[in-house]
Amino acid sequence: MVRKVAVPIVLAVAAALLGTPVRAQSRPVAPAETAYRSPYRVEFTQPLADLVGDLERSERGDFRLEAEVPYSQWYGSRTLERWHSWGPSPRTYPPLAGAETWSVERKRERVVAVALRYVGYGYQHHHIPDWNPPPEWPWKPTCVGHNSKGVDCSNFTGFVYNLGFGMRLNTAVEHQSEERAAIGPGAGRTPLHRVELPESYDERIKVLRTGDLLFIKNRGGKISHVVLWIGSVGRSPDGLPLILDSHGEGVHDSDGATIPCGIQLRPFRKNSWYNHSASHALRVFRDRTD
């Protein structure tokens, strides 16, 4: 029987479920700016330690190694001159050892497990999630209202696949939506498969898979947003499918509460902007039935 691991959306959940202490090098706990408690959760079919245990045990999970420049230079004058309010560019992570032997299901679940580590981070126009500049640093206004840790939608999805597998996606949302291959892992390239969406909401849900990148259009018809599809591992009290994205406020959860700005699990409702303005999806990991 496949073991199921339920993951409630609380901060530092990975360390608690893995039964391992957070190493001094590990990513610090996400900033909790509200007392919001999500009604949504994720129930993996794979043991959590098998999905993301390496991020707690190795340098891969060290937040200080997220950028292409050393941590000591994150807030230096050269970083300010080169990247301004966006902060340093992400490093290219090495290939995940042994991933070539993993099942498609395990790879897809790793994507979500990696992404859940950042729930609670703000919506910021940053390249890496743990970049947290001082108050006087230049800032591109967002719903957060001040500088803080966080990333925007396409930097979030790009970082998750990079950290998880060493794949580099373009982090400009329009360009990310048009890509047909990711750089990496290593010297190789990974095909990205475009998934066209049926007109029917119910059929869309059937077509999408855990870990898919779902792109959303603005009122002008241009791609302006991307979300991570949670799929079969998502659990909501009213049975709604879930997405995970970095976004602003304005979405209410199944209990009627306003979901905070930033990286959160959100429902994919039939009458939502997410559904009405959905464009297409990109799939990284396919099986024979896809």
What's the pLDDT at 34? Answer: 54
The span from the CA of 274 to the CA of 269, in Å, is 8
Report CA dihedral (86, 117, 194, 270) to the nearest 10 degrees: -100
Q: For residue 60, give the DSSP letter.
A: G
User: 150 with 122: CB under 8 angstroms?
Assistant: yes
* Strand ranges for the chain from DSSP E: 5-8, 41-44, 122-123, 150-151, 181-183, 189-191, 193-196, 213-217, 223-229, 234-235, 242-247, 262-267, 278-283
- Cα 76 to Cα 66, 71, 91, 288, distances in angstroms: 16, 10, 17, 49
According to the model, what pLDDT value does residue 289 have? Answer: 82
What is the spatial distance between Cα 50 and Cα 27, in angstroms, rounded to a whole number?
Answer: 19
Phi and psi based region of residue 178 (left: phi greater than 0; alpha: psi -120 to 50; beta: remaining): alpha
Q: Are strands 122-123 and 150-151 parallel, antiparallel or unpaired?
A: parallel
**Alpha carbon distances (Å) from 50 to 17, 153, 211:** 12, 27, 17
Domains and CATH numbers, the chain: 5-283 (3.90.1720.10)
pLDDT of residue 249: 87
Spans in the chain with pLDDT lower than 50: 1-5, 8-29, 32
Backbone angles phi, psi at 28, to 5 degrees: -70, 165
The model's pTM: 0.91
